[in-house]
Amino acid sequence: MEKEYKWRADEWVLGQALLWASSRIGSQSRTIHMKSQYFDTADGLLRRNDAALRLRRENDRSVCCMKRRNTSTPAGMRAHEEYECDAQTVAEGLSALPDKGAPRALCEQALAARLETICTVDFRRCAILLQQEDTVCELALDEGMLHHNGRSAPLCEIELEWIAGSEEVFHALAADLADYLSLTPEPESKLARAMKL
């Protein structure tokens, strides 16, 4: 289960969030160029099943991921079922994802169907690993572009994702960051915003 907070940002806010993170004990950062292709069938097989399917290049790594939405979450937080595996193609990923816990029937349906790229997202991520006591989370500062049907729009956002440890500490870190920068929650995923273009 992926648990994260997501907020709107601009370049100045990203810089301030980086300063907030670097002032904390136990922070480590790395920069990743990410290019995501999202897939579905013409009749929306994955969308009808509340699922998103993407193949994402992360620097030199290629990862296939399926997400399914879980709406029973605290205010301001997003939670998804998330399954991923290393894969060079979406077909390779769909073959392997059931072993990671993804719904086998849906993966098999998608494999048998005619999948097409519905949108792409190309961005740079500054990923900062934060640790407080036994709690570990990742702060992601994302800046790039959303693309759909020949149209494009800028992407600029902050995510804070829980990795391990106390969820109470995770929520407290999120509240501290949001209060410090007066952040506005971003209710929509990258996929949802790209599809609106």
Total domains present in the chain? 1
Spatial distance between the Cα atoms of 122 and 140, rounded to a whole number of angstroms: 15
Strands of 59-188, DSSP E: 61-70, 77-86, 116-132, 135-148, 151-164
Q: Is the pLDDT of residue 72 over 60?
A: no
- pLDDT tens digits, one per residue of 96-126: 999 999 999 999 999 999 999 999 999 999 9
Spatial distance between the Cα atoms of 50 and 13, rounded to a whole number of angstroms: 32
- Distance set, CA 179 to CA 110, 129, 139 (Å): 42, 20, 15
H helices present in 36-125, as ranges: 45-48, 90-96, 104-112
Owning domain of residue 105: 2-195
Is 95 within 8 Å of 81 (Cβ atoms)?
no
Q: What CATH code is carried by the domain that includes residue 182?
A: 2.40.320.10
At residue 1's C-alpha, the angle toward residues 181 and 105, to 5°, is: 140
- pLDDT tens digits, one per residue of 11-69: 999 999 999 998 876 667 899 999 999 999 999 999 999 999 999 999 999 999 999 97
Q: pTM, whole model, 2 decimals?
A: 0.93
